[in-house]
């Protein structure tokens, strides 16, 4: 049995253990969840087992190259005088594509009427709606042009482009087959055909060579510079007189200690009790704080907990590593990996708000439960379908770009390699949006913890280990963890 912690002394670097595998699994689960969320939406509401979804992530990753590294894009390279410089005509092309992408996304929601503001849910003059949409399209186009060739502008451009192009799969292909009432197995074959078309279409245009983003990874931080991709090591030491946390940075084989935070056991107990108390008050609907509403109470509670944690962390930042320790372990991470976790949480939180607190979310849930009944009740199911594909495109763009950034390379099989874990997360969760999110994190944890816990397994066995967990769960609960609720 492999122990998650090791006995060590201060001049010895602790080894990574179970805690490191869990953190890495959360990062992996966040990436899988970004892809699986859109996949689950399309599967649950549009009834399309979209095997092309992995290749849509690849498309999003390659689309960002038009802004970030335009000289690597065939034909468009004629408008790029150097590696990351775009000529004035090239900037015009990017502006037009971005603006058309915004207007095209709106058009999918109801054609010309949508452009005039009919999808807003309130009565507005048609000219006002059209003017607002044109202004928004122009503003986003300007942001892309002014930000070129930055990574942020590339991300925005890819999101806009896929938000407009991915729904075309529904309107041009999948809707036609759905109207013919074809079997689910045949729809799966259709999605496979689309996957091959998208993948080899990308390969025809870009070729098979590996490509890379050009990203400025150093950002200002606390009066210095922070490299978001450079590995950071959190070393945790448990000693007789308290808990110690050491943050180190490794560059070129040399280790640099950034800070050491120390907490006595009494101090640690006070911090822990404060966090538990705030959490209890925020979640207890009978508490006086609940009068402002459960959502606002939970949000304020989260802010308070973060404030307590940050204050406690920096308050103990003047400590030193103890001479001897009882237990020690190491977590290897980076600001980029932490950023991916935060980004995934923000996007899934935004989707939760859309599903639970907006009219669109209610119509999506109604359509998912019973499409025919939703249509009879006057719900515009076609608009719901297009909204689902737009959201799937947005998540695919972000997921594909973050994959390319995390792995420092963009290949034709970038998204396809993530397709099996995405489907595993969706099926494990019970073919629902919330189930897919939960299932994705279970899959990510299973992939990383499985490799850690079983001696002799290399990283190539991560996906098989995840599917062993999938089969074990489905044997006990065939409907999945959430079971479609």
Q: Which residues contact 213 (CB under 8 A, 6 or more apart)?
A: 64, 65, 68, 69, 151, 154, 404, 405, 410
Distance CA 346, CA 394 (A): 13
- Other beta carbons within 10 Å of 370: 11
Average pLDDT over residues 242-250: 77
Q: Is residue 362 situated within a structural domain?
A: no
Strand ranges across the sheet with 242-251: 254-263, 242-251, 232-239, 327-333
Residue closest to 70 by CA, chosen among 98, 78, 151:
78
User: Phi and psi for 246 in degrees, rounded to 5?
Assistant: -115, 130
Q: Is residue 316 situated within a structural domain?
A: yes
Q: Is residue 96 situated within a structural domain?
A: no
Length of the chain: 485
SS3 (DSSP) at 184:
helix
CA distances from 355 to 59, 296, 352, 424, 434 (A): 26, 17, 5, 23, 11
Range of the domain at 298: 217-332
Q: Is residue 148 situated within a structural domain?
A: no
Cβ–Cβ under 8 Å, residues 282 and 297: yes
Distance CA 154, CA 62 (A): 10
Average pLDDT of every residue of the chain:
82
Express each pLDDT in 317-366 by its tens digit: 666 777 777 788 888 888 888 888 999 999 998 898 888 888 888 888 88
Tokens representing 291 are: 């009068």
Distance CA 294, CA 303 (A): 14
Distance CA 65, CA 154 (A): 7
Tokens representing 477 are: 């609960």
Distance CA 28, CA 328 (A): 24
The residue behind tokens 């990383």 is 448
Is pLDDT above 60 for 47? Answer: yes
Average pLDDT over residues 380-404: 90
Q: Is residue 328 situated within a structural domain?
A: yes
Tokens representing 91 are: 């900037």
Radius of gyration of the chain (CA): 25
Per-residue pLDDT, 198: 93
Distance CA 89, CA 70 (A): 13
Distance CA 310, CA 464 (A): 39
User: Phi and psi for 232 in degrees, rounded to 5?
Assistant: -120, 140
Residue 331 pairs with which residues in a beta bridge?
234
Distance CA 140, CA 95 (A): 8
Cβ–Cβ under 8 Å, residues 239 and 9: no
Reported as type and span, the H/E element at residue 99 is helix 88-108
Of residues 96 and 286, more confidently modeled = 96
CA distances from 315 to 257, 306, 309, 318 (A): 17, 14, 10, 8
Express each pLDDT in 142-166 by its tens digit: 999 998 888 889 999 999 999 999 9
Per-residue pLDDT, 2: 33
What percent of the chain has pLDDT above 90?
A: 24
Torsion 104-105-106-111 (CA) sign: positive
Express each pLDDT in 298-317 by its tens digit: 666 667 667 766 666 666 56
Distance CA 334, CA 45 (A): 37
Distance CA 398, CA 406 (A): 12
Per-residue pLDDT, 200: 92
Express each pLDDT in 110-131 by its tens digit: 888 889 888 887 778 888 989 9
Per-residue pLDDT, 315: 61
Is pLDDT above 70 for 443? Answer: yes
Q: Is residue 272 situated within a structural domain?
A: yes
The residue behind tokens 């991470």 is 333
Q: Is residue 313 situated within a structural domain?
A: yes
Per-residue pLDDT, 316: 59
Q: Is residue 235 situated within a structural domain?
A: yes
Distance CA 334, CA 340 (A): 10
Per-residue pLDDT, 6: 37
pLDDT band for position 11 (50/70/90)?
very low
- Other beta carbons within 10 Å of 99: 21
How many structural domains comprise the chain? 1
Average pLDDT over residues 9-21: 67
Residue 332 pairs with which residues in a beta bridge?
233
Per-residue pLDDT, 226: 67
Tokens representing 354 are: 């859309």
The widest CA-to-CA distance across the chain, in whole angstroms, is 73
Per-residue pLDDT, 9: 39
pTM score over 0.75:
yes
What percent of the chain has pLDDT above 70?
A: 86
Distance CA 377, CA 40 (A): 24
Distance CA 186, CA 250 (A): 52
Which of 9-18, 373-382, 394-403 shows the lowest per-residue confidence on average (mean pLDDT)? 9-18
First to last CA, the chain: 38
Reported as type and span, the H/E element at residue 339 is helix 335-357
């Amino acid at each position: 049995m492999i122990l998650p912690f090791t006995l060590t002394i201060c001049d010895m670097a602790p080894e990574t253990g179970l805690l490191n595998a869990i953190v890495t699994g959360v990062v992996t689960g966040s990436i899988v969840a970004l892809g699986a969320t859109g996949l689950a939406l399309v599967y649950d509401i549009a009834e399309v087992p979209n095997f092309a979804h992995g290749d849509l992530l690849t498309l999003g990753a390659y689309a960002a190259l038009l802004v970030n590294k335009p000289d690597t894009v065939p034909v468009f390279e004629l408008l790029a005088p150097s590696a990351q410089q775009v000529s004035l005509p090239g900037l015009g092309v990017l502006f037009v594509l971005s603006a058309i992408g915004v207007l095209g996304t709106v058009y999918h929601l109801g054609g010309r009427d949508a452009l005039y503001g009919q999808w807003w849910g309130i009565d507005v003059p048609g000219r006002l709606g059209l003017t607002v949409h044109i202004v928004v399209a122009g503003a986003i186009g300007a942001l892309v042009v002014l930000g070129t060739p930055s990574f942020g502008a590339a991300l925005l451009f890819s999101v806009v482009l896929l938000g407009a192009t991915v729904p075309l799969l529904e309107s041009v292909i999948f809707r036609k087959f759905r109207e013919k009432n074809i079997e689910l197995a045949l729809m799966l074959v259709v999605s496979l055909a689309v996957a091959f078309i998208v993948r080899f279409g990308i390969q025809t245009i870009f070729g098979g060579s590996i490509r890379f983003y050009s990203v400025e990874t150093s950002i200002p931080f606390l009066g210095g510079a922070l490299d978001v991709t450079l590995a950071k090591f959190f070393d945790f030491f448990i000693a007789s007189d308290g808990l110690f946390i050491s943050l180190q940075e490794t560059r070129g084989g040399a280790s640099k200690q950034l800070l050491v935070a120390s907490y006595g056991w009494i101090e640690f107990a006070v911090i822990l009790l404060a966090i538990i108390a705030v959490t209890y008050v925020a979640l207890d609907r009978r508490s006086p704080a609940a009068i402002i509403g459960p959502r606002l109470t939970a949000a304020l509670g989260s802010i308070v907990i973060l404030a307590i944690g940050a204050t406690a962390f920096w308050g103990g930042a003047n400590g030193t590593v103890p001479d001897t320790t009882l237990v020690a372990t190491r977590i290897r991470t980076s600001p980029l990996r932490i950023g991916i976790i935060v980004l995934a949480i923000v996007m899934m939180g935004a989707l939760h708000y859309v599903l639970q607190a907006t009219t669109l979310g209610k119509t999506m849930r109604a359509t998912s439960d019973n499409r025919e009944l939703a249509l009879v009740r006057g719900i515009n199911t076609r608009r719901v379908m297009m909204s689902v594909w737009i959201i799937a495109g947005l998540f695919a763009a972000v997921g594909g770009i973050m994959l390319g950034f995390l792995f420092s390379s963009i290949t034709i099989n970038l998204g396809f390699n993530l397709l099996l874990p995405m489907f595993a997360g969706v099926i494990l969760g019970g073919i629902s949006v919330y189930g897919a999110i939960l299932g994705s994190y279970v899959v990510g944890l299973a992939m990383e913890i499985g490799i850690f816990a079983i001696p002799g397994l290399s990283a190539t066995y991560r996906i098989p280990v995840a599917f062993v967990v999938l089969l074990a769960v489905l044997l006990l609960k065939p409907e999945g963890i959430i079971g479609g609720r």
